[in-house]
Structure 1
Amino acid sequence: MSEVRPEATDQPAPTPVLTAKQAKRANATVTGMLIAIGLTIAVFLPVFFLNPGSKSEVYERNIDVPGVAAQAEGAAGYLPLSVELPEPWRANYARWNSGSSSRVPAWEVGYLTPKGQHIALVETDKANPTWTAQATDNAPVTGDRKAGGESWELRDRGEGEKHLVLEKDGYTVILSGAGELDEFDTVAAAVVKELDAPASQ
């Protein structure tokens, strides 16, 4: 006895019909979602416009380092370094750090190199081995580098930032950054020149 199969039909499957209550609930969900998105945008936009993204001119500004150093002299007890560097070197910050966290007050200046790198200068007359290690990210000593007629201690992990450390006339100066060593030499030579100047003695 052969099996009787139902005849195939070409009629489409019935479309579900929402009741008035279901449609109202679905619309309420969509409306709530749109309100939530609108509120999120309303909160985000003021924050976005009050905190604009990083702009090159912010980092390329040229700070009056001698002026800031003169202001910091009273707190430091000495006139902090304000080295002279050739164009197109730029200083993008200069500040006196009271040492509230490290307990070692220090003068800090950031320089932008002609190749677009950054080298930070830190100077203090109250350094200790622990502070120096922390200021150089605990990088190992890999040798010495002559710059400005002085022998600087080179600390380098082989990747990331390099550090040059000089102890001279009771001051410790640390140069840190990702710049090329010849750029470090430029800053180091300017530091030695400034330290050797009669006005800084």
Structure 2
Amino acid sequence: MAGDEQQGATTAETAAPAAAPTAEESAGQSTRQTAGPDADPAVAGGTEPTAGGEAARAGAGSAAPDVGRPGDKPGGGSRRRERTVRGMFLSLLVIGAAVAVIYTFFIPHDDKADPVKRVDYRVELITARRAAPYQVAAPAGLPKTWKATSVTYDQSAGNAWHLGFLDPTGQYVAIEQSTSPTNGYVTNVSQNAKKTGRTQEIAGKQWQRWKGGHYDALVHTEGKATTVVTGTASYTGLAKMAAALRFVQTKA
């Protein structure tokens, strides 16, 4: 009877299935199976490297590099900004070159275009000579290289007559007349020129010389009217205009 029980116990021991390995045993077995001659010692030992571990080994307290976006090398952020600025500069150069090419080759130009248009002052001159209480001055016989550029007559401003020209060298010469007080009027139209105390005779008339920082002037007074020839031209140029003047008043 006792033999039967012993035999049954032996049978039970051999028939029972082997117990399943625990999780720790499975992890250990997996580690042993994957570990080999070329395996990472950390992996072979059952631990995987982490970012924290790497940082710790690099040295605690060291400054974090400028890594820019994930995956960039240290300093990549600064280099990326430099590339962006350089790219913008190159783009502006390309745009500027394109604009220059379009302007040069595709937009029509007139190299002989005259920046200052010639004006026809005949109608204004006739009107002023009828309306003004003095003989209105205008040139006669000047070459066509003298170009009229502006003309006005303002009865309300001291019967002011203005006729502007460019001489053959491009200097400005203007004829100004008015019944306004002489000194203030000459100072105004000559841009603050001053009397020099010198006079010269031109075509039988006496003209005073005024000298200014911007304009010089020749001034002639007759009756209630003051005539001024002024501008950026030299006294020689001003005298040429004064010599060509004809003083005419037309009665209505």
Please indicate the TM-score interval, normalised by the length of the shorter structure: 0.5 to 0.7
SS across alignment from 2:209: strand
In structure 2, the residue matched to 1:186 is 240
**Cα separation, 2, equivalents of 1:12 and 1:168:** 87
Aligned amino acid, residue 210 of structure 2: R
**Cα separation, 2, equivalents of 1:168 and 1:141:** 18
Structure number with larger C-alpha Rg: 2
Aligned residues: 150
Superposition map of 1:14-163 within 5 A: 14-15=68-69, 57-61=114-118, 63-78=119-134, 80-84=136-140, 85-99=142-156, 103-142=157-196, 143-157=198-212, 159-163=213-217
CA positional deviation for 1:67: 2.4
Give the gaps of 5 or more residues in structure 1: 17-54
CA positional deviation for 1:147: 2.0
Aligned amino acid, residue 95 of structure 1: T
CA positional deviation for 1:78: 4.9
Query: 1:39-59 CA distances to partner (integer Å, 9 max, x unpaired)?
Result: xxxxxxxxxxxxxxxx96352
Give the gaps of 5 or more residues in structure 2: 1-56, 71-111
In structure 1, the residue matched to 2:221 is 167
Q: Does structure 2 retain, via aligned residues, the 8 Å contact 1:148–1:185?
A: no
Query: 1:23-82 CA distances to partner (integer Å, 9 max, x unpaired)?
Result: xxxxxxxxxxxxxxxxxxxxxxxxxxxxxxxx9635241x23332211234442456322
SS across alignment from 2:126: helix
**Cα separation, 2, equivalents of 1:149 and 1:72:** 24
SS across alignment from 2:214: coil
Q: Does structure 2 retain, via aligned residues, the 8 Å contact 1:70–1:79?
A: no
Q: Does structure 2 retain, via aligned residues, the 8 Å contact 1:94–1:110?
A: yes
Q: Does structure 2 retain, via aligned residues, the 8 Å contact 1:140–1:155?
A: yes
Q: Does structure 2 retain, via aligned residues, the 8 Å contact 1:156–1:162?
A: yes
SS across alignment from 1:107: strand
TM-score with structure 1 length normalisation?
0.61
**Cα separation, 1, equivalents of 2:136 and 2:183:** 21
Query: 1:76-131 CA distances to partner (integer Å, 9 max, x unpaired)?
Result: 245632211223111111110234xxx42210000110001111111124444333
Indicate the RMSD between aligned Cα atoms, in angstroms. 3.3
**Cα separation, 2, equivalents of 1:86 and 1:138:** 30
Q: Does structure 2 retain, via aligned residues, the 8 Å contact 1:72–1:79?
A: no
Residues 171 and 77 (structure 1), Cα distance of their counterparts in 2 relative to 1, 3 Å cut: closer
Query: 1:5-25 CA distances to partner (integer Å, 9 max, x unpaired)?
Result: 7299xx861427xxxxxxxxx
TM-score with structure 2 length normalisation?
0.50
Residues 146 and 73 (structure 1), Cα distance of their counterparts in 2 relative to 1, 3 Å cut: closer
